[in-house]
Amino acid sequence: MLSANTQYACNLVFKLSEMCCGLHGPVIARDLFNWKNKETGILYFRYPNPWNMRDTDWVPRQRKDGWMEVIVWKFNSNYELKNDYLFVNLKLITYERTMSGLIARSIKFRPI
């Protein structure tokens, strides 16, 4: 259950394979269900150089269990919830044209 009037983040728990491709630079995250909102998020699967970083919330963090975690989407429960459920359709776009080698473990929703 999501609490009303709360800002949430959707976190992706992942690892990168040794032969990953297209995950070196920033990746665009866009909500396809909310097509009128042209706002996009820029996230990283590898920690960027400080001078390349746009937003510190969207960089991966190392977890104690060896997996990485990164925010892929933020939303407010008041505006996004409809009938006690939430539709999510995120598109990840890389500047390198193709992505491979991303091993996803889980998606977690947490209050910010």
pLDDT, tens only, 26-78:
888 887 876 666 667 788 888 776 666 655 678 899 999 999 999 988 887 77
Share of the chain above pLDDT 90, in %: 25
Of 25, 5, 1, nearest to 77 by C-alpha is 5
Distance of CA 39 to the CA centre of its chain: 14
- Residue 79: DSSP 8-state: H
10 neighbors 73 (Cβ within 8 angstroms): yes
Average pLDDT over all residues of the chain: 81
